[in-house]
Structure formats: structure tokens, C-alpha cells
Structure 1
Amino acid sequence: MKNFSPFLFLLSITILIGCSSSENQVNNNTSEGTDSLETPENNVIPNEVINGDMRDISPKEFVLDMGSGWNLGNTLDTEDVDKTAWGNPFTTKAMIDAISEKGFKTLRLPVTWRFHTGAAPDYILESDWLDRVEDIANYALNNDMYVIINVHHDDEWIIPTYENAPAVKDRLTKTWTQIANRFKPYGDYVIFETLNEPRHEGSPEEWEGGTAEGRDVVNQYHQVSVDAIRATEGNNAIRKIMVSTYAAGTGENVLEDYQVPNNDENVIASIHSYSPYLFSLAGTDPTWGTDADKAELTEEFNTIQDKFENDSRAVVMGEWGSTFANNEADRLSHAEFYANICAERGICPIWWDNGNANEFGLFNRNTLEWVYPEIADAIVNATR
């Protein structure tokens, strides 16, 4: 979300808020580029990555190998044709090299497609935009990192209602067919994530698990997306695909109604949890670390484990973190506990970094320096 909304304070701490995107960055990031039309840097990718090394590895083993991850937030996912509009500079190979050098093994690459999509009925994706997404993916692949490519802030047209479903499913099918074909030659270090936090934006139930209709339609949207990817065949026939719950949440109704398309064995469950909310996202309760705090977070993870362990389903925590509130020691305690509880349950933890050190940013993308290196180390060390 772009701005904190007052009504969210009424939500339970288990509500999962996604994709914080600050339009008012305070770290003075500047760039003249749009992060979509610049000349790509020299990128030599190992043949086994591009030419299709698909390992015989179970989803749970796969997720364990993903280690810890980092989100390139507020960049390719901006709700603007200018990818520096939310304050982050043009993405360079040096940035991703630094993320890898810190020990992160997975790069989640949030992508908003609607500003680079042609008109109906074909919805052709701009070739330059696909090139740019591939360039950044290659920066990570060149470091032997996993890369997650998704459909992110496209909620404006991905509306989960029965009325909108036919048109949305048609466009999702065409969008994912093009993305999947572009990356089909790549090996299994490329992961697709069908939708980010699919939900009915602006509805009363947006962050409360939606309605029965909304959850049903979100399942349908995941279904057509997975079907489109699989239909391109080749490596995409068995590629790992992350599929989220409604709004990527962990509420009881959300978990109960979650469906895996075709019961596909290579689908990985995708969830987000900024928990506890007042500490992690709102920043109004800057303290964390009591026995009660730890027990509360442990209980949420027990619920997650009960759901997906019973289904023998691998899980990725695609977004989590804590916003800055002059509380570095508490944030470090939270990050260490959170990353370790993920690791204990075989869940890959991927920190949400929006590039703003006064919010979720751990890494200064201008200077290539870690603003909070201890937090980054705690996350990485949990999965080593």
C-alpha cells in the first residue's frame, strides 16, 4: 500500500498488509532514468540458468535452498510509467551484487505491468519492458540467486468479482502467457508468482479476508494464471509457481478457502505477514520482544504451519518486516526471531525493502551501503 489508512488500526494483528510503497521518500534518492529504457549493463548468465537446468528437487527442498530473500520494492512496481517515481534510483547490477554479497539468496522482483501493456484484445506487453525485467532478473541469476517475478500493483484491473471475472481472466491469461514465454528457456532459479496480494481494493473487507465471492474469484484468477504458464510447456510445465492466499493473508477464512490450482505439486503457497501490525507496519508501538510478543507471533506461525503442513505444501513468506520508529534494538530482536521461526518451519523469509531507511529500507541503493547491517545479518544467518 502507498499510504497508511486510519481504518487499518482496527484490524487484527494477523492481517497481512502488502507492498508498502512510499510516495514521499525521505532518503533523497534521485535518478534521471525511468528504470525501463536505460541501456542494460553487461550481463553474462551461466548456460545452465538460461538453457534450462530443471532439477529433480521437491518444493520443500527447493524453498529451503532459497535461503533468505530481499524485495526490490518500490521500483518496477511503481504505479507510474516512471520507475523512479517513488524515490528509488535506477536499478544497477552493483545493487543486486551487493544484496548477494550480504548473503541473500533470493530476489523478489515485484512488477507492475499495466503501464506497459497494449490495448484489448491482445494486451501486448512492451518488449522494452520485458527486456528491463529480464535484465534485472539476470543481475540476480548471475549471482546464483533465485528470482521471483510477479504481477504486483495491477489491482486496478484485477478486481475479484463475478461481474469482472471474464475480462480479468482473459487479460491474465494473455499477460502470463507472454511472461512465461519470455522466461521459458530459463532454469528453475526463475520462479513465477501469479498475483501479489489479490483483493478487492477499497472494499470494507479488503484486509479482513474479503467475501466468499472474492475468495472464490481470486482462486479462479490463480487457476487461469497457472494454466496459462503451464500451457507454454517446456520448462514452464514444471516450473515452481507461487500462489497466494486472498490478499496474501493468514486469517481463518482465507486459509480455509485457499485452493491450489489443479493440486499442482510444483505450486508453493505465498503469504505475507507484517505482524504484529502496530509494531511492524503502523510503527505506533515501537517495542517488541517480551515473552508474550514471542508467543503471539509463534501462534500465528503455528496456524500457518497447521494449514500448509497438513497439505504438504511448501511456503514462502513473500513480504514481512518492520518499519523504522527509532527502535533499532527492538527491530533487530523482531527480525532475528521472525527469520528464525520461518527457518524452523522451512519457510523462506523475504524482507520487504522499499528503499526508504525511515520505513522498511535496510539498504541504501544510492551509496550501496547497508543502513541496518545487523538486521540484514540476522535475516541471512537464520537460513544458513
Structure 2
Amino acid sequence: MKNTILISLVLSLKLCCFWGCAQKEESTKDKIPGAIDMVETDKRDDTENNDIRKITPKEFVIDMGAGWNLGNAMDTESEDETAWGNPITTKEMIDEIAKKGFKTLRLPVTWRFHMGPAPDYEIEKEWLDKVEKIANYAFDNKMYVIVNIHHDEAWIIPTYEKAPTVKSQLIKVWTQIANRFKTYDDYLIFETLNEPRHEETPEEWDGGTAEGRDAVNQYHQVSVDAIRATGGNNTSRKIMVSTYAASTNSNALSDYIIPNDDENVIVSVHSYSPYLFCLEGTDPTWGTEADKTELTQEFNKIHDKFEKEGRAVVMGEWGSTFSNNPEDRLAHAEFYATACVERGICPVWWDNGNLDEFAIFNRNTLEWTYPEIADAIVNATK
């Protein structure tokens, strides 16, 4: 570059007002439609571009598009993320998910095998590094990422007896996670708990007891408070908060409380409806008018509850298990995803990597086993 006085003056006049936003050429990212700024892949290195956008939670959820769960990988009930048959997560996997058109990656994480004892419950640095590395694979693809506490029900027991200890541990764990991601922009979403419930009780999947629902509300409260207390972008980051067991049971819905009535809390629910088709797999057929009416009623129940409260909703898990019924699964997925979008709900397909169950993507070959289902979900959000 020539270094004359004239050129210096011209450049100074044209560029001085933009000086604070200048970035190294090799670290800049393309902008997504709508002039929404993306930040560097490693967002810990730069805080200036990590502003939280001034959009409502409902606008935010619509922008999340179609979602896909990286299930049964970082959330195994083991120290080994391959314990449930899935390979180590690679950038190539997440690249393929994004290439198909999915805009949100839900990243379930089990923490209990990677933290120390009380009172600090220190999380292993290597485990946090792995979580962040996978998240950055998605951020490289301009995706949203949901990081949560997943299969940790062994210590998150919703009873008054256990509550003081559980709350103390939740505060320590969420403080560490939130601090690690504090400078990330709002494409990073926290989800306080996955399906908080009292395991192996009669009410486990039926909305729980009054005590259980109250304890879960308390657990969400301290988790949200811990995240907000870390400051930075976490003061107004979008946080997903689930009902008891993430259930749409009437008791779970009626006793659900938004912590602090926080305007940036998004409701998280799961619905494998109808159960016999989606989860149990004992009824492999779906698509009659009666089937559609039943599923519509399920969605209306969710919408009627939270629309009047002005709350945005994410369907964090849904899907159908394989029963040698590709046509029925496709019909269900098309109807389900469309019903979500019509009500402003982000649909996030549960993929556990098992091709005999919920998987529609082969993580070993990087091929879509059921591309029609993936396309139906993505196209619904378009």
C-alpha cells in the first residue's frame, strides 16, 4: 500500500467512524440475511461483536428455524461419549446437518461424570472444552446452539429433602458453564434442565406431584439466577426452561412458573405424540383424520397455554421411532413440523443416532438415511 499523505487523509476521512468495528480479515464471518452480525468461531477471544440482538423471544424462536438433537453422544450416562454406540462428534457431522438446512443444534450434555465433589463440583476442563468445541462446529455454520443439563436426574431429585443440596450444586454447575460461554452472542442458548422429574415414581411421566413440581420450579429459579449473575451477555441471554419432565400434562402446564417472570425465558416442552406411534412403536400407522385431529388438539393445548401468556415455545424433542414404516413417519413429520411452525414453535427432532429408533442421519457414513423426513422438517420452517 502506498503511504502518501493524500491517501492517508482520504482514508482517515472515510474510515475513522468505523475504526472500532475493524477486524482482522482472516477472522471475519459472512453476514446472514437481515444484516444480523455473526461473531468469530471462538467467541471467547472477542467480546465487542457479541451483542445480544434486540428481538423478541417469539421472533428469536422463529429465526431458530428447524432443529436437530445430537442425542446420545455428550449425554450418555457414562464417562465415555461413545458408550451408547455413537462415534465421536466431528465437524463433518455438524457441517452435514447444517447443509441439509437445520439451523439449530440442540447439544444435550451429561455433567455428573465430569465434575468433582462438593462443595465446588468443579467441572473437568477437558469436558467443557469438548462441549465448546462441538458448539463451535455449529457456530461455524451460523447455527443456534442449545446447551443444557441432560441425563443428570440421578442427583437432580425434586423433593424437599434433597432440594437444598441440589440447588447448591445447580448453582455451582451453572455458574461454571455460564462463565465459560459468557462472551458468546445470543446464538448460544442455555436450557436449565432437560426433563426434570422424580425417576421411578408412579407420577414420573404424568406431571409429577405438587411437591415435585414445586421443587422443579425452585431448581429452574436458582439455575436462571446463577446464569444471570455471571454477567456479560448472560444477563439477557435467551434461556429455555422446561415444565416438569418437559411434559405437556395438564398438571405440569398449570404449575409451571417462569423464573422471575424473566422476559428472555423460553418455554421448553417435549411431546412424542401419539405415544404408541412415536415412542412405543407398537402402532406403526399414522395419518387418518382422527390421528390429525388428536395431534392438533395436543398443539392447541400448548399454544393456548403459552400464547395468552405471551411466551415463546421450543419443542425441544419430538420424533418417531423406526417401525418399518417410512411413509407413515414422513406423513407424521410433515404434519407435526407444520403444526409447530403455524404456532410459532421451533421443532427440534430427537435423533439418538440409532437407525432402528429415532435416527434419520447416519453419523458414521455422514449420509441421510431418511432425507425425506429431514427435508419435510426443514421445508416446514421455510
Decide whether the 8 Å contact of 1:364 with 1:371 is kept in 2.
Answer: yes
Q: Check if 1:332 corresponds to 2:330.
A: yes
Q: Where in structure 2 are the equivalents of 1:276-295 lying within 5 Å?
A: 276-295=274-293
The verdict on how the C-alpha distance between 1:45 and 1:119 changes in structure 2, with shifts beyond 3 A counting, is: farther
Residue 44 of structure 1 deviates from its aligned partner by 7.0
Matches within 5 A, 1:280-359: 280-359=278-357
Residue number in structure 2 paired with 1:76: 74
Partner of 1:262: 260
Q: CA deviation at 1:54?
A: 1.2
Cα gap change, 1:45 to 1:279, in 2 (>3 Å) = farther
Amino acid of the residue matched to residue 206 of structure 2? E
The structure with higher relative contact order (CA 8 Å, sep 6+) is: 1
Question: Structure 1 residues 230, 115: CA separation in 2 closer, same or farther (over 3 Å shift)?
Answer: same
Q: Which residue of 1 aligns with 2:39?
A: 48
Partner of 1:274 in structure 2? 272
| Map of 2:124 onto structure 1 | 126
What is the CA deviation profile of residues 179-205 of structure 1, one whole-angstrom value per residue up to 9, with x for unaligned ones? 000000000000000000000001110
> Which has the higher mean CA deviation after the structures are superposed, 50-59 or 304-313?
50-59
Question: For residue 346 of structure 1, what is the amino acid of its counterpart?
Answer: G
| Secondary structure, counterpart of 1:223 in structure 2 | helix
What is the CA deviation profile of residues 342-369 of structure 1, one whole-angstrom value per residue up to 9, with x for unaligned ones?
A: 0000000000000011100000001100
Matched AA of 1:111: V
Matched residues in 2 for 1:247 and 1:61: separation? Answer: 26
1:192 alignment partner in structure 2 = 190
In 2, the alpha carbon distance for the partners of 1:255 and 1:359 equals: 28
2: distance between equivalents of 1:263 and 1:140? 30
Opposite residue 187 of structure 2, the aligned amino acid is Y
Output one character per residue of 1:259-286: Cα deviation in whole Å (capped at 9) or x when no partner: 0000000000000000000000010000
Post-superposition Cα deviations, 1:315-354, rounded to whole Å, max 9, x if no partner, equal 0000000000010000000000000000000000000000
CA deviation map 1:276-328 (0-9, x unaligned)? 00000010000000000000000011010010001100000000000000100
SS at structure 1 position matched to 2:315: strand
Note the C-alpha offset of 1:45. Answer: 8.3
After superposition, give the CA deviation of every residue in 1:193-236 in whole Å (9 maximum; x if it has no partner): 00000000011100010000000000000000000000001100
SS of the aligned residue for 1:220 comes to helix
CA distance in 2, matches of 1:298, 1:286: 19
Contact 1:108-1:149 within 8 A present in 2 as well: yes
Residue equivalent to 1:114: 112
Corresponding residue number in structure 2 for 1:157: 155
Measure the CA separation in 1 of the matches of 2:135 and 2:275: 31
Does the 8 A contact of 1:44 with 1:142 survive in 2? no
Partner SS, residue 61 of structure 2: helix
Identity of aligned residues (%): 74
Describe the SS at the equivalent of 1:48.
coil
Aligned to 1:220: 218
For residue 3 of structure 2, what is the aligned residue in structure 1?
none
The count of corresponding residues between Structure 1 and Structure 2 is 342
Q: Which runs of 5+ in 1 are unaligned?
A: 1-42
TM-score (norm 1): 0.88
CA distance in 1, matches of 2:86, 2:66: 22
Q: Is the 8 A contact 1:109 1:147 kept in 2?
A: yes
Deviates more, 1:103-112 or 1:48-57: 48-57
Whole-angstrom distance in 2 between the partners of 1:53 and 1:236: 11
Correspondence for 1:383 = 381
Partner Cα distance (2:72, 2:234) in 1? 28
Q: Equivalents in 2 of 1:45, 1:168: separation in Å? A: 42
Q: Is residue 86 of structure 2 the alignment partner of residue 88 of structure 1? A: yes
**d(CA) in 2 for partners of 1:64, 1:74:** 26
One-letter amino acid of the structure 1 residue matched with residue 334 of structure 2: E
Equivalent position amino acid for 2:192 in 1:
T
Q: Distance in 2 between matches of 1:107 and 1:248?
A: 18
Write the distance in 1 (CA, Å) between the matches of 2:28 and 2:108.
21
Give the conservation status (yes or no) of the 8 Å contact 1:112–1:152. Answer: yes
How big is the alpha-carbon RMSD for the aligned residues of Structure 1 and Structure 2?
1.1
Could you say what secondary structure the match of 2:39 adopts? helix
CA–CA distance in structure 1, aligned partners of residues 109 and 308 of structure 2: 32
SS in 1 for 2:352: coil
C-alpha displacement of 1:53: 2.8
Query: Deviation at 1:48?
Result: 2.2
Rg (Cα) greater in structure: 2
